[in-house]
Structure 1
């Protein structure tokens, strides 16, 4: 390479240590941060300019006639060039750094966020639509634009690991999980007075850990400039724990410059106070919506529309992006207790009624008796194993001074952020000697082959498995999960069976799910510790509710684990099991679950059960147990219950308020026509799934390791690659052959391969490096791609010169007197047609010409003549290339301003093209009809 005057601005080329490098943003004289010209991000080096001898500015050499290649090589080189770029130009900075291909509807929150500064957004999309992806896209985009350097995700404890994994695997943001158990370890070695939230720029933080007085102030002091809050509705409703969470968010929101994204599937559950508290976190003036009228209210509504996005699944249909969600098929199946089971259940019910009725006026004794008997009823309805566990656990008389959550937390279906602590069978033994006899009966029934509920489940699972489904069975208690696993293990030929409960820490739960997912056929038994926190859709496509939840939200949470964005199966099944002659099941089904479903169908969104303190549920269950002369064999008309009517009235009132809120605050949402142009521009710049598939197929074949294709997806034989390349792949965690798919959702057992996957990046960097250096590695001369070529093409009617250009730009953002420089790169195919008065063309049309298969062979003399003519023309047209670079810089600036218009008002942006332009490759296409 030739040298010029030294110039070390970001994007400049320098030669040092025997190779060429690109100067990276973040360089501060005399320190230079460098990335190899033909290499990956993992090869970045930091050098001291004053101590490093022989640093020279450099320019990129044009192609040479000795580097001749074929049409097939030209396509492969074009793909490698585009797929190797991480900082692609276009309307978004981040899309080269994410390992997911967002659906067009998922770009709506991103475009809304980019029109706000600071970003204050409430994303209230339905369960399973992809709120995590939508929020992480916003964070990654601001990160890659240089507008944020630090990020914190606040979420319930059971979601911490999932968030950290999603950020790392899909968005290449290495997050540190901060929980009560990890904080002390993370703080070791940090200087006194320093916060771990400054030491670790990206964190996922447990709300339960950070909400306390002790930790809250440290977090507020060192809080990152961007905060995502998941399950935000749990931070604004009533209760002491919730109040601490709300106080934390309220103080965070007071910083007017902080970016804040709130996520919830249930923003307005009818609790007006909680809903307006949530809106006030976006903008303090939104609290006035509770009382505003007339023009003032209309103005606030218009403002809120810029900060609030809520879509149900039917709203996604307008995007015509088929195959996003599976079809959910639901069914109910029932069993009847008879014989010994019927007698035992009747005895338990009679005992419960007697205990509650004889408690007298002693309030403490009444509470203790009722909780104990209710716990027993729930456990008996679940399984004999759960009944035995409850009867063996003594309910202490000293506990009656505590709240229901303190005494029998697992008795009721608690808050959705306490799922990991909610599956232990509650205490039922009040010391009554009658319970000893019931315990003996339960022990005798445990494991009984005639268990009608277990028998029904077994038959139903066999049908699901026969139909090709992989089911998850959700039950209420650990004891029931063990009972089912014991009886179902080995029951179905060729089906692996395992159970996951709250006994295991989150990491072990994820490991067990992953291990079971490796089996060809699989059955998982789980408690509600898995109804949030670990996505199950990759391995399972059917849900069986073995135990009815007393909180209808739990049913949706369970089903949402498999019925969600990315489910590879076109159909998922959901089955509800209940006892036809069980009055407790009947009350839950008719009074709670049926009402919840009716509201959801009418309103389009769920409204949570209005019973945070469980008083309504307790009243209903007490009425069920005290109703005399109604044996378990008889039908129950729960509409006659005053307690049922009270619950219905309260719930209906909340649903009406929720409906009114949804109407008043419905989002003026962006339509497909607003989003699709931006999406298409990014696909053109970065490449589509088809481009990735073509590249991997051709690159692996070129390297002597052709793919093996299956009905869906393919196997990448990593073990057949040259040793040097295998070492590079091993360094990024790819050591074995891979089962992959190039479309979403991927085939079962396959990994979705996106342009930012380490396999793609490594292959692209390897081939590009071989082409630009002219070297062959591992003796594989065929893998060195030519940078110049001539062939006859059926795609053109005039002689056509095609150039593959790499453009480098500096994007300089100045805000509050401080400037940041970002390096932006793009691969641009350009062409001119005709020898005289050439017509200039660029973009996808040029790639289409390049991809058309060559026709026949040309004499050596013709090829050499045309190549030399093309090289001469490139030298003559340098001014044209520089003007092209300037035009692309202006286009980039326009793109940046268009999607980030709000930030433009608070700062200044400019884009500078770095010259000379890098000509990566040049080709001559002769008309196919010429002789």
Structure 2
């Protein structure tokens, strides 16, 4: 019996030299031409070699002699060829010749840690902007080049799917398909009969909310690739409360982690939300015994074991790394103030007094009725101080009363919070919470309902006037930024506020910037638009040299804005 040569050997077959690569099939030799690329890979059936049908023998190259020397130009050409060939195939990392990005030195740290693991189980919790995506895909590309994995899956929120697919394709030359509710139909038509959409394509980017559903979870788990990257992993931690969606995401990751051969990378810039149980649930995905760690009393051995699986660095930690400086942009933060006009102050004082009465009288109620008084008061104050448009949208129930979730006596505080607060753990909702105000209105008398309608009329009378000093000051700030050459983004909490701010800026900037104000392009992008429409509108805006983007949180993830916008105004 002829034993096959070792992986990495240089052999001669079919009249040329080849490098022997790891083969997914034990009876096939996988060869790559010494002077070729992956597109020229060749497989030779081992029994054919043993029967003498194919000839594979060790390759030998004669040593250089003085007679073979040439001029300096040829020597430099040979040196460059050898250097580039080594970078592609014989360096310490086999993947570097197959990527279109130059990693920074600190981004190799997770890769070095991963190469000492089998399987790879890591939580990469570097700060925003440090490069978690590059660090994770470096690991994936290296394991692919070494033949240790064949397929990759990225689990992420649906709004990040397209961005991950672009990163895989453009920077790491890994074409991937996006699997979510809007893309499944065309992909299924291209999938051969009897095959799973999760198993047919080599590299997949999957919406975690699509994969976690009862309808698709079993199919995904059965055909999931051996290497899985989970982005925004904090959204899949074991929740402290009764958050059904987050519990389903966590259960999906627990089922994936049960396969002892599966590689699992968790990415998040906010691994610890303050709830230790949730953080330990993420660590338990890396190693089950981490679930019982006392994080405040780790001994030296436990600290060492945890450090093998966890990477967390702030920007300040990597600004200077091994003599290399990373030019992170410096944030210049300024807090601007404005005074309420007498008319706006009267509106606020009246709404504030009404809200206090609403909460005070609600103390005699119980259960749902008491909670809805509290949430109605908060919703009113948030909307009134956002803009007259948001206040009007929340109070005019005949227009907005059907939006949002249906409230009932079983609803918990978890259902209301996204409409009122910003949270790092869940998405906020960028609509005025009219349904909450409407539900609260049902529990008050006719005189109080008349007061609410009067508030709506007062808010409408303030729209577009100089009594709204917040928008007046915002227009002045934006004009100053445009005059200094910046392209600003204005973040708003509610759709009504975003549209109102954009409308007012289009009216006010030509007055504040004589000569160039009429050339400023201002658009509002909100959750009222589809994801494709948002991208198209932002792409169109970037073609204007003088531009202002007004947006809600719908653009806070999944789209890169930093290349075209250089200043930020937080309106709310």
Q: Deviations over 1:83-103 (max 9, x none)?
A: 588833110011111111111
> Is 1:478 paired with 2:510?
no
Give runs of aligned pairs for residues 35-434 of structure 1, distance below 5 A: 79=80, 87-188=88-189, 190=191, 194-236=195-237, 237-238=239-240, 239-290=243-294, 297-319=299-321, 320-359=323-362, 361-363=364-366, 364-393=368-397, 399-401=407-409, 402-406=411-415, 409-413=418-422, 416-418=425-427, 422-427=429-434, 428-429=437-438, 430=441, 432-434=449-451
Taking structure 1 as reference, are residues 77 and 424 closer, same or farther at Cα in structure 2, changes over 3 Å only? farther
> Is 1:439 paired with 2:442?
no
Any conservation in 1 of the 2:153–2:203 contact (CA below 8 Å)? yes
Query: Secondary structure at 1:267's aligned position in 2?
Result: coil
Shift of 1:398: 6.9
Taking structure 1 as reference, are residues 467 and 251 closer, same or farther at Cα in structure 2, changes over 3 Å only? same
Candidates 514, 526, 530, aligned match of 1:501: 526
CA distance in 2 between partners of 1:217 and 1:130 (Å): 32
Candidates 521, 544, 564, aligned match of 2:569: 544
CA distance in 2 between partners of 1:272 and 1:194 (Å): 41
CA distance in 2 between partners of 1:56 and 1:515 (Å): 59
Shift of 1:545: 1.0
Query: Secondary structure at 1:418's aligned position in 2?
Result: coil
Residue equivalent to 1:600: none
Candidates 495, 498, 505, aligned match of 1:488: 505
Q: Deviations over 1:740-783 (max 9, x none)?
A: xxxxxxxxxxxxxxxxxxxxxxxxxxxxxxxxxxxxxxxxxxxx
Taking structure 1 as reference, are residues 100 and 392 closer, same or farther at Cα in structure 2, changes over 3 Å only? same
Taking structure 1 as reference, are residues 404 and 448 closer, same or farther at Cα in structure 2, changes over 3 Å only? farther
Q: Deviations over 1:525-581 (max 9, x none)?
A: 12112222222222222221111xxxxxxxxxxxxxxxxxxxxxxxxxxxxxxxxxx
Any conservation in 1 of the 2:234–2:425 contact (CA below 8 Å)? no
Any conservation in 1 of the 2:89–2:97 contact (CA below 8 Å)? yes
Gaps of 5+ in 2: 1-8, 49-53, 443-448
Shift of 1:37: 8.4
Shift of 1:76: 6.7
Taking structure 1 as reference, are residues 37 and 305 closer, same or farther at Cα in structure 2, changes over 3 Å only? closer
Any conservation in 2 of the 1:157–1:417 contact (CA below 8 Å)? no
Any conservation in 1 of the 2:10–2:17 contact (CA below 8 Å)? no
Any conservation in 1 of the 2:389–2:463 contact (CA below 8 Å)? yes
Shift of 1:368: 3.2
Q: Deviations over 1:631-655 (max 9, x none)?
A: xxxxxxxxxxxxxxxxxxxxxxxxx
Moved more, 460-469 or 243-252: 460-469
Any conservation in 2 of the 1:410–1:423 contact (CA below 8 Å)? yes
Query: Secondary structure at 2:465's aligned position in 1?
Result: coil
Any conservation in 1 of the 2:95–2:142 contact (CA below 8 Å)? yes
Query: Secondary structure at 2:433's aligned position in 1?
Result: coil
Q: Deviations over 1:862-904 (max 9, x none)?
A: xxxxxxxxxxxxxxxxxxxxxxxxxxxxxxxxxxxxxxxxxxx
CA distance in 2 between partners of 1:37 and 1:257 (Å): 32
Taking structure 1 as reference, are residues 34 and 280 closer, same or farther at Cα in structure 2, changes over 3 Å only? closer
Query: Secondary structure at 1:213's aligned position in 2?
Result: coil
Query: Secondary structure at 1:108's aligned position in 2?
Result: helix
Gaps of 5+ in 1: 1-8, 548-931
Residue equivalent to 2:51: none
CA distance in 2 between partners of 1:347 and 1:180 (Å): 46
Shift of 1:325: 0.7
Query: Secondary structure at 1:334's aligned position in 2?
Result: coil
Shift of 1:30: 13
Give runs of aligned pairs for residues 516-531 of structure 1, distance below 5 A: 516-531=541-556
Residue equivalent to 2:558: 533
Query: Secondary structure at 2:133's aligned position in 1?
Result: helix
Residue equivalent to 1:921: none
Shift of 1:355: 3.1
CA distance in 1 between partners of 2:71 and 2:166 (Å): 42
Shift of 1:168: 1.3
CA distance in 2 between partners of 1:77 and 1:512 (Å): 50
Shift of 1:47: 12
CA distance in 2 between partners of 1:516 and 1:11 (Å): 56
Any conservation in 2 of the 1:10–1:27 contact (CA below 8 Å)? no
CA distance in 2 between partners of 1:30 and 1:310 (Å): 43
TM-score under structure 2 length normalisation: 0.80
CA distance in 2 between partners of 1:314 and 1:258 (Å): 33
Taking structure 1 as reference, are residues 76 and 530 closer, same or farther at Cα in structure 2, changes over 3 Å only? farther
Any conservation in 1 of the 2:126–2:311 contact (CA below 8 Å)? yes
Any conservation in 1 of the 2:493–2:552 contact (CA below 8 Å)? yes
CA distance in 1 between partners of 2:280 and 2:166 (Å): 32
Larger radius of gyration between Structure 1 and Structure 2: 1
Taking structure 1 as reference, are residues 462 and 46 closer, same or farther at Cα in structure 2, changes over 3 Å only? farther
Q: Deviations over 1:318-376 (max 9, x none)?
A: 41422431111111111111122222222222232333334463334433343333222
CA distance in 2 between partners of 1:245 and 1:167 (Å): 23
Q: Deviations over 1:109-131 (max 9, x none)?
A: 11011111111111111122111
TM-score under structure 1 length normalisation: 0.51
Query: Secondary structure at 2:245's aligned position in 1?
Result: helix
Query: Secondary structure at 2:549's aligned position in 1?
Result: strand
Query: Secondary structure at 2:325's aligned position in 1?
Result: coil
Query: Secondary structure at 2:88's aligned position in 1?
Result: coil
Shift of 1:474: 0.8
Residue equivalent to 1:752: none
Shift of 1:450: 4.1
Taking structure 1 as reference, are residues 263 and 27 closer, same or farther at Cα in structure 2, changes over 3 Å only? closer
Query: Secondary structure at 1:438's aligned position in 2?
Result: helix
Residue equivalent to 1:864: none
Residue equivalent to 1:454: 471
